[in-house]
Amino acid sequence: MTLRHPAPTDEVVELCRDLLRIDSTNTGDTRTSAGERAAAEYVAGKLAEVGVEPTILETEPGRTNVVARIPGADPGRDALLVHGHLDVVPADPDEWSVHPFSGEVHDGYVWGRGAIDMKDFDAMTLAVVRDWQRTGVRPPRDIVLAFTADEEAGSDLGAHFLVERHPELFEGCTEAVGEVGGFSYTVNDNLRLYLVETAEKGIEWLRLHARGRPGHGSMIHDDNAVTALAEAVSRVGRHRFPLVVTPTVRAFLEEVSAALGIELDPDDPETAIAKLGPIANIIGATVRHTANPTRLEAGYKDNVIPGRATATIDCRTLPGDADEFLAQLREVIGPDLEIEHIQRQPALETTFDGALVDAMAAALRAEDPGARAVPYMLSGGTDAKAFTRLGIRCFGFAPLRLPADLNFSALFHGIDERVPVDGLQFGVRVLDRFLRAS
């Protein structure tokens, strides 16, 4: 009898289903979160089983990270980091057509919270590494694997902790791949653009504090904190920051306009962006700073004018001068309100060139002759924000071929999140080729 190993393209589906069945909900508060420990133990077990020694690092109870290093053929070369987070955002089973933690497979998809964000890529990485370990494949250079906690709440208990407290685990890493990139956008039967993330907007979460004179709700009152706050919040919410086309967005728009035959006016890229369909809401947010009011708090009694009122503004900044953005925002808010910084993470941008980018494009083309890799900027944030602090050049490259009619961006944190089975298998083949050539 010969023992036969499962093909990585088969195993990836089982690995993904197993991970989806593990509830690793992150609410932003460890007391109400399911935590990542069970998922981390699963990953560590799958690595140890094939001879990769994982390091397990826990920050708060149940908030667990896994890091491992696979030695490369040339120890003199810089290392490559491959990272994926293990946590997921909450899911309400009443809203879903399957249970969000069932890992069901039907209609050609694996269903579950985390199916595209991002247990799919965690499973692909495991499938490739397990296959290599079983068949004696050595990567050309060291590969560091990081499976992180807490990405969905800013990564303080995950990637930022690892970078601050255990930088030695990433020694020699100069480049990294993780979410959110490498997915396809179908132009026609013969052309699919694969969006590789080379830039990420920055995060500025601000709390505005308005102060006034407390008083009785029945009287004339000209120093009302609620009124002052509401006026400033309305101005911010309706404000449009000036158009700025960064090198990444310019490259993306040139590629996509040429592919689609859309006229691109450099002074009005938004007309071209509006024609992109479902990805327009991602790309549209990358030509300006944005500032969205998200929370309001004031008052404690219906007939009492409170002395203070606060609002939270979720700002996303373009690469460049964040202080210049804050000066623009101050103009909109006016001089009277106090601005408190509650979260600040700078934007990232790298160039779309070099051997690693060539390896991505070649791996995609080998599995999809109609593939064309293009750079783009993500309007949100990922663990790349943490790893870039170590001087690592970060890319979003979690390859996935998607059906033309799938509204991919709506599945992120969305209801009925699911990943195509053949997309997962495509991802494994591309990742295998890419890592062998990187």
Sign of CA dihedral 395, 400, 401, 402: negative
What three-state secondary structure class fits 201?
coil
Question: Nearest approach, Cβ of 98 to Zn ion (angstroms)?
Answer: 21
Element (H, E) at 205: strand 202-211
Q: Which amino acid is at 13?
A: V
Cβ neighbors of 385 (< 8 A, separation 6 or more) are 155, 159, 200, 203, 345, 346, 348
Residue 75 burial by CB count (10 A; 0-12/13-18/19+): exposed, middle or buried? exposed
Backbone angles phi, psi at 376, to 5 degrees: -150, 165
Rg (CA), the chain: 23
Identify which of residues 117 and 432 has a Cβ nearer to Zn ion in the complex.
117
Cα–Cα distance between 309 and 210 in angstroms, integer? Answer: 5
Identify which of residues 273 and 378 has a Cβ nearer to Zn ion in the complex.
378
Cα–Cα distance between 412 and 116 in angstroms, integer? Answer: 7
Question: Nearest approach, Cβ of 115 to Zn ion (angstroms)?
Answer: 11
Identify which of residues 43 and 52 has a Cβ nearer to Zn ion in the complex.
43
Question: Nearest approach, Cβ of 65 to Zn ion (angstroms)?
Answer: 15
Question: Nearest approach, Cβ of 122 to Zn ion (angstroms)?
Answer: 10
Question: Nearest approach, Cβ of 40 to Zn ion (angstroms)?
Answer: 16
Identify which of residues 11 and 197 has a Cβ nearer to Zn ion in the complex.
197
Identify which of residues 23 and 367 has a Cβ nearer to Zn ion in the complex.
23
DSSP annotation of 88: B
Residue whose C-beta lies closest to Zn ion: 117
Under 8 Å between Cβ of 229 and 299 = no
- Strands (E) in 26-128, as ranges, are 55-58, 64-70, 79-85, 105-106, 109-111
CA end-to-end span of the chain: 37
Question: Nearest approach, Cβ of 197 to Zn ion (angstroms)?
Answer: 12
Question: Nearest approach, Cβ of 85 to Zn ion (angstroms)?
Answer: 6
Residues at the site binding Zn ion, with contacts judged by CB under 5 A: 117-118, 179
Question: Nearest approach, Cβ of 322 to Zn ion (angstroms)?
Answer: 23
Identify which of residues 118 and 273 has a Cβ nearer to Zn ion in the complex.
118
Identify which of residues 117 and 368 has a Cβ nearer to Zn ion in the complex.
117
DSSP annotation of 181: -
Tell me which residue has tokens 């303080």.
156
Identify which of residues 54 and 114 has a Cβ nearer to Zn ion in the complex.
114
Write down how long the chain is: 438
